[in-house]
Amino acid sequence: MRALAEIQVIPIGVGVSVRREVIRAHDVIRQTGLTTELHAYGTNVEGDLDAILDAVKAVHESLHAEGTTRLTTALKIGTRTDKPVSLAAKLFDPPSS
Amino acid sequence: MRALAEIQVIPIGVGVSVRREVIRAHDVIRQTGLTTELHAYGTNVEGDLDAILDAVKAVHESLHAEGTTRLTTALKIGTRTDKPVSLAAKLFDPPSS
Amino acid sequence: MRALAEIQVIPIGVGVSVRREVIRAHDVIRQTGLTTELHAYGTNVEGDLDAILDAVKAVHESLHAEGTTRLTTALKIGTRTDKPVSLAAKLFDPPSS
Amino acid sequence: MRALAEIQVIPIGVGVSVRREVIRAHDVIRQTGLTTELHAYGTNVEGDLDAILDAVKAVHESLHAEGTTRLTTALKIGTRTDKPVSLAAKLFDPPSS
């Protein structure tokens, strides 16, 4: 089943700056081969639902293995049966003023 | 890896009332055998991360198979390596007034 | 406008344990007089939308004033015009097995 | 207090396609004068926390006034006291392969 998702990873206990862990999480997601779009509040992804859920698991496993003690991930998943899903189609052109 | 999660399923296109689909989603989650706690904004679960991710997939598959055209799930996942996770421990007693 | 909401406050940089700040956030929300229901992934609230948004602001102001350097809040807000909203009505009885 | 936020508006009961309402929500946010960045899972904003919360309220009021019966908004809010917040600074450059 194809899906779209937004993955936001929040490391807890690494200090006020979480940049290193957030970059690493994005990298783990990108290395899965999923289509990704990075933005200020997470990584949007497009692909098979299994692959997306595997990517989320890989992020938790990788960051814990590399020393992050606690992680919270906020995930949004979208699926539909009436037509193909894509990040490009979801991202409409905003109306001109 | 043990995890806690909150799963909120939002069916799109079934009308203003989404009660039937939300009840069904909770039932699918509960039938996986995960520890569940229902509240007004979703189902909190405790269990193996794989089982939690499988439950989310099962919700999308079941509801689509039963006629829901579009689904958005909001998922929060928490893992930590310093001590066991549990819904009971996470739910602190609020301070008395 | 009446609304339901879920407020989850995540302090960043206070360490692996965030219990003290999460209890404090819940307390700030509760002191606004909103109807609240605490669960493992946040505080569900029922009340006027203005009051709910004010409560979120009060949490950020209070916790920052008390020393938390960085805060992320995840908020879900629900409103509808066809009938009154309430946490009790939203929380359906799960079907018996 | 300056803040960053992500605002995702989900209209319930308007049908499987929610494009018209989502475009309208983005437009309401943009008209507040906040710095906005549209992506496939919402609108990221930068500005005063009061203005951000007002924008969320304006979205609910406008869409309800224009006929949407039910709305769910998912909002993430970030504030910090150690340095200025900005969408640009939050959006790190992803590492090259």
Per-residue pLDDT tens, chain B, 97 aa: give them. Answer: 999 999 999 999 999 999 999 999 999 999 999 999 999 999 999 999 999 999 999 999 999 999 999 999 999 999 999 999 999 888 765 444 3
pLDDT band at D91 (very low <50, low <70, confident <90, very high): confident
Q: What is the pTM of this model?
A: 0.95
pLDDT band at C91 (very low <50, low <70, confident <90, very high): confident
What class is the D2-80 domain?
alpha beta
Whether A95 has a pLDDT exceeding 70, the answer reads no
CA A54/CA A59 separation, integer angstroms: 9
In this structure, are residues A72 and C42 in contact, taking their beta carbons and an 8 Å threshold?
no
Structure tokens, D92: 């790190």
Q: Does A2 touch chain B (CB under 8 A)?
A: no
CA A54/CA D41 separation, integer angstroms: 20
Compute φ and ψ for A71, nearest 5 degrees.
-135, 140
CATH number of C2-81: 3.30.70.930
Residue with token string 């008209």: D31
Window 33-92 of C, Cβ < 8 Å to B = 37-42, 44, 74, 76, 80, 82, 87, 90-92
Higher-scoring residue by pLDDT: D90, A94: D90
CB-closest option in A10, A13, A18 to C16: A13
Q: Please name which of D61, B88, B87, B25 lies closest in space to residue C94, comparing C-alpha atoms.
A: B25
In this structure, are residues A72 and D8 in contact, taking their beta carbons and an 8 Å threshold?
no
CA A19/CA D90 separation, integer angstroms: 8
Tell me: ipTM over 0.85.
Answer: yes
